[in-house]
Amino acid sequence: MAIFGYGRVSTSLQMVENQRLEIERAGYAVEYWFADTVSGSAHAAQRPQFKELFDKIRRNDTLVVAKLDRLGRDAPDVLATIKRLAERKVEVIVLQLGKLDLGSPAGKLMLAMLAAVAEMERDLLVERTQAGLARAKAEGKTLGRPPKTTVAQRQTMTELHGRGDSISSLARRFNVSRSTVLTVVTPKAI
């Protein structure tokens, strides 16, 4: 009966080690630790380290995670992951929920409600982000990366390319990549 720990962060700028320390501070001596750096939008089955954990974990082992959203992308994914683990008689402990048997009827109900709330929170975050981008655009703010060339440089590039200058020579002349020059001089399809 081994204790497995699993952590996930979305970017390499975040530290998964905090999740491991939280699990160990809760009194669990993790024998096997797995961690993914992958977006929360990826299903559990698409995460390389989670797949490896799932291949290694056995009957009567315990899986400990710090938060529910570490187990899946949305409510159906979390529930499917818990179900797959329950079929193997793996005890799943989510520190965020306290000691709760996720395989029991009450545990399944609590899990479904919490997973649905977590999914709703993610959806609301996306909605707020989209609203903020739309507002910024309506206010005339330029979104995205600033252009690498000025309007005058783009006009000059187009003229010189029309006279026969090569893409490479234009890239060297304006100190930009060939792909930047191609974007400028290639007519846009409508």
Catalytic residue positions? 10
Of 18, 17, 90, 107, the C-alpha closest to 53 is 90
User: Please, is 2 exposed, middle or buried when counting C-beta atoms within 10 Å of its C-beta (0-12, 13-18, 19+)?
Assistant: middle
What string of DSSP letters covers 114-146? HHHHHHHHHHHHHHHHHHHHHHHHHTTPPPSSP
